[in-house]
Copies of this chain bind each other. A is one copy, B any other.
Amino acid sequence: MADTSRDGERSEAEEAIMRATYRALCEHGYADLTMRAIAEEYGKTTAAIHYHYETKDDLLVALLEYLLDRFVAHVHDVETTGPEARLEALLDTLISERTDDHDLLVAILEMRAQAPYDEAMRDQLVHNDEYLRYLLRTVVADGVEQGVFAADVDPSRAAETLMTFVDGARTRFVVSGDPDVLRHAREAADRYVADALDAE
């Protein structure tokens, strides 16, 4: 599970295709996404994409990996002092109130709903989730070790509870489109940290 992210293994073309896929997905949504739309964003032919990614499914699985890499790079950039501040930074990124994320979160929820029908997509979604839980678990475990979180906290369980919050908030935001959902979930996560994790 300490499987590292594969940032840097992409060629320049693959990076550009990922950015094009990202933009096309946000614009068209998962169900209406076509190779043609991605090629238009990429500014080249669909054949140029097929050279790197055989099917639309391959592209979307690769995109999920790309999004995880971006997330990991983003949180590595955040300079923080202790486990509490690092947990805060992770939660800020996982439950961001940026309403311009709505299109992306819609597309991700479509992919999640697709997971039971698509093994490659499910495997990548499960991998992403495991990696996010690994990041949360490590921060919580460091906090327990340093005495800022209570000694009886189970880091794995705490990470899973926090991801349940994150996923609930995202699902609810997709359906309602109401950014208050994210703000309130972020507050509830803080409340959970204060009540269930913080050392007295």
A-B contact pairs, 29 of them (CB 8 A): A29-B117, A30-B113, A109-B109, A109-B112, A109-B113, A109-B171, A112-B171, A112-B175, A113-B113, A115-B175, A116-B177, A129-B172, A129-B176, A160-B181, A160-B188, A161-B185, A161-B188, A164-B168, A164-B185, A165-B168, A167-B168, A167-B171, A167-B172, A168-B169, A168-B171, A170-B171, A171-B171, A191-B196, A195-B196
Across the interface, do A164 and B188 meet the contact criterion of CB distance under 8 Å? yes
- Please tell me the size bucket of the interface on A: 35 or more
Residues of A113-146 whose CB lies within 8 A of B: 113, 115-117, 122, 125-126, 129
Contacts of A113 in B (CB 8 A): 30, 106, 109-110, 112-113, 174
Across the interface, do A175 and B117 meet the contact criterion of CB distance under 8 Å? no
Contacts of A184 in B (CB 8 A): 157, 160-161, 164
Contacts of A157 in B (CB 8 A): 184, 188
Q: Which residues of A contact B (CB under 8 A)?
A: 29-31, 102, 106, 109-110, 112-113, 115-117, 122, 125-126, 129, 157, 160-161, 163-172, 174-177, 181, 184-185, 188, 191-192, 195-196
In the complex, residue of chain B having the shortest beta-carbon distance to the beta carbon of A157: B184
Cα distance, A160 to B170, chains bound together (Å): 13
In the complex, residue of chain B having the shortest beta-carbon distance to the beta carbon of A167: B168
Across the interface, do A125 and B175 meet the contact criterion of CB distance under 8 Å? yes
Cα distance, A29 to B16, chains bound together (Å): 35
